[in-house]
Structure 1
């Protein structure tokens, strides 16, 4: 699930569930959204960036996102806000995760007013570069161990930013001839079990209280698509700061 064939025997796993993380307190990360299909099944993570829009990954689109759930970290509870998705805006250059531009904005059918259970998250104001080893967080719902089951409680884990060169070298060693797509951030999943696995694509990489990245992909071997034990290559995130002009255009009601 959430996979594309990539170079010989290696698959890219689109998404992540939080590995080696902890349950998020109810009063934290109130911007988190569960992007769900028409049957109410969780398909991707997302995060509220304005009263009208949730941001997520473009590669979540084939799984027919239909609703956004806000206001509760526990997906089985009844006291949550379910809003239909009115429109989807995928970056016009997106083809697949290998080529980058893995970003999508979901327009909500009804605006959301921030309150005690729902809040917006800040986005970068300008293009930025994160420092190597900077501590950030990634959160999501789902697998917590290899071949496990999804969870209903939002989980979070700390991850460290990895330099682009270290990230590129690590991926090239595992996948011969592989080049990272443009405009990405690498964090977690390398020399540590902490990070992303399968099913929580679209969630935010949060640094200093700001959403700087979108979960795009990680790696696992073809024969074991459910493997989450991969401290060999970094997880890859879309760099939000490289798409600010496009984001502002959509949020202001202009077509992409």
Structure 2
């Protein structure tokens, strides 16, 4: 079975410049966008563990990747990948990127709050997901941040939908399913690591959907739900790192 890393926003719209100011673009050593992320404290950006493909910089304060206006490019000082992570599709797809200096909130950069305790979203709750990924299965990544509304899909419905397409498949632990099923809205390649946002709070991290080729996700009309890491299940892990501990 092939899984594809989440990358692009499908059938979304360009995010207004004065909203989602917590978004971060994660760049590799060549300066290319590889994943999304989001600022969760003065010196920590949260993203997906599968984005650990030589991340070198984060870009804060600008929704437009090719623009130099008000853009902060910061070299990553350290990274904390969940110790149980092995591969995408097996769970624990969460990572924190440590910045070398403290970021002060301003008119273009803000933090996003995280769950304080474990929580469970109800089916059909409306959320948003944003990223710089592709806007269709065969497209290219985009320069402007895009956002789309998605609805939460219950875990049993999600499990059944995946098992119908991939016999014997079991969802990994601690995930949220939302969008991409019975709808043409969701994420695609390039959106990995971005947040699933519920009432102004980051509740999930873009993880994966189903592949239709070696590295190509079926993004326009997927037949299984999109899968996100459930951040609320990792509150204690996050707090340990925030207090200076190791992952």
Q: State the secondary structure of the residue aligned to 1:191.
A: coil
Q: State the secondary structure of the residue aligned to 1:146.
A: coil
- Residue 37 in 1 paired to residue 28 in 2? yes
Q: 1:172 to 1:254 in 2, by over 3 A?
A: same
Instruction: Judge conservation of contact 2:3–2:217 (CA < 8 Å) in 1.
Output: no
What does the per-residue CA deviation read over 1:44-78, in whole Å, with 9 as the maximum and x for residues that have no partner? 000000000000000010x2100000000001111
**Aligned residue number for residue 66 of structure 2:** 76
Which runs of 5 or more residues in structure 2 are unaligned? none
Q: State the secondary structure of the residue aligned to 1:213.
A: strand
Instruction: Judge conservation of contact 2:91–2:172 (CA < 8 Å) in 1.
Output: yes
Q: CA deviation at 1:16?
A: 2.3
Structure 2 residue corresponding to 1:93, chosen from 84, 89, 92: 84
Supply the RMSD in Å over aligned alpha carbons.
1.1
CA distance in 1, matches of 2:242, 2:85: 19
Q: Residues 162-181 of structure 1: matches in 2 within 5 Å?
A: 162-181=153-172
CA distance in 1, matches of 2:218, 2:161: 18
CA distance in 1, matches of 2:215, 2:82: 31
**Aligned residue number for residue 121 of structure 2:** 130
CA distance in 2, matches of 1:78, 1:125: 35
- Residue 183 in 1 paired to residue 185 in 2? no
Q: State the secondary structure of the residue aligned to 2:19.
A: coil
Per mean C-alpha deviation after superposition, the further-off stretch among 217-226 and 190-199 is: 217-226
Aligned length: 246
Which runs of 5 or more residues in structure 1 are unaligned? 1-5
What does the per-residue CA deviation read over 1:155-196, in whole Å, with 9 as the maximum and x for residues that have no partner? 000000000000000000010100000000000000001001
CA distance in 1, matches of 2:145, 2:61: 12
TM-score, with structure 1 as normaliser: 0.94
Q: Residues 156-235 of structure 1: matches in 2 within 5 Å?
A: 156-222=147-213, 225=216, 227-235=218-226
CA distance in 2, matches of 1:58, 1:224: 18
Structure 2 residue corresponding to 1:105, chosen from 96, 103, 128: 96
Q: Residues 20-35 of structure 1: matches in 2 within 5 Å?
A: 20-35=11-26
**Aligned residue number for residue 3 of structure 1:** none
Q: CA deviation at 1:230?
A: 3.0
Q: 1:184 to 1:224 in 2, by over 3 A?
A: closer
What does the per-residue CA deviation read over 1:128-174, in whole Å, with 9 as the maximum and x for residues that have no partner? 00010000000000211221111100000000000000000000001
Structure 1 residue corresponding to 2:133, chosen from 142, 165, 172: 142
Structure 1 residue corresponding to 2:240, chosen from 226, 230, 249: 249
Instruction: Judge conservation of contact 1:140–1:200 (CA < 8 Å) in 2.
Output: yes
- Residue 237 in 1 paired to residue 228 in 2? yes
Instruction: Judge conservation of contact 2:22–2:111 (CA < 8 Å) in 1.
Output: yes
Q: 1:103 to 1:223 in 2, by over 3 A?
A: closer
CA distance in 2, matches of 1:44, 1:170: 27
TM-score, with structure 2 as normaliser: 0.97
Q: After TM superposition, what 4+ stretches of structure 1 lie above 3 angstroms from structure 2?
A: none
Instruction: Judge conservation of contact 1:55–1:104 (CA < 8 Å) in 2.
Output: yes
